[in-house]
Chains A and B, each alone.
Chain A
Amino acid sequence: GAGVSQSPSNKVTEKGKDVELRCDPISGHTALYWYRQSLGQGLEFLIYFQGNSAPDKSGLPSDRFSAERTGGSVSTLTIQRTQQEDSAVYLCASSSFLIDNYGYTFGSGTRLTVV
């Protein structure tokens, strides 16, 4: 597509439930990133996919968080047994492999609220 698409745009869930967040990157972009941004805070890196390489999971805050990327395109971020501290905006971005001077393009995010 023309941009990075994320769904849902908003999600309210009860503490302890599992949630799935979806990201559809720009067509042809080989790299996909998940970040999250809590209210008034900076962007916190979560996980990175590059082509067929093993993902860089170094930013995942706990084993309740996981992500997969099927067919080198769409990615799903799953949060199990959600906690209130998981409330944040989850941002997905994609880039071509040679990012050099082009940076990342972000989707509009999923605003997750755990009640």
Chain B
Amino acid sequence: RKEVEQDPGPFNVPEGATVAFNCTYSNSASQSFFWYRQDCRKEPKLLMSVYSSGNEDGRFTAQLNRASQYISLLIRDSKLSDSATYLCVVEGNTPLVFGKGTRLSVIA
């Protein structure tokens, strides 16, 4: 099993749609989890951390299920500017392990 697995997509959704990405990880000892966003030909940027209790930042909601070793990201009311690749990131035995990303295209 790969350390971090994501559906590569692409997810093509209309503006205003709700879209969810999932991610599974193999290291049950991992304690820190993140979602990063990477625009085309740019560096990854931290979108949000993922807390055990779940957390929300505006239109973005992240969930963690430790028992199933599963992380999710929900984007509500999608905007054109949300088009990017979303990377699931998990703490390993340092450094952070990055998934290959899920590509999202929001269409007008």
Contacts and interface: CB of A to CB of B under 8 A. Distances in A.
The yes or no verdict on A and B being binding partners is yes
Interface of A: 33, 35, 41-43, 45, 48, 50, 56, 91, 99-109
Interface of B: 32, 34, 36, 42-46, 49, 51, 87, 89, 91, 94-101
B45 A42 contact: no
30 contacts: A33-B95, A35-B98, A41-B100, A42-B87, A42-B98, A42-B99, A42-B100, A43-B44, A43-B87, A43-B98, A45-B95, A50-B94, A91-B44, A99-B96, A101-B32, A101-B49, A101-B51, A102-B46, A102-B49, A103-B46, A103-B49, A103-B89, A103-B96, A105-B46, A106-B43, A106-B44, A106-B45, A107-B43, A108-B42, A109-B43
B31 to A, nearest CB: 9
Nearest to A101: B49
Contacts of B45: 106
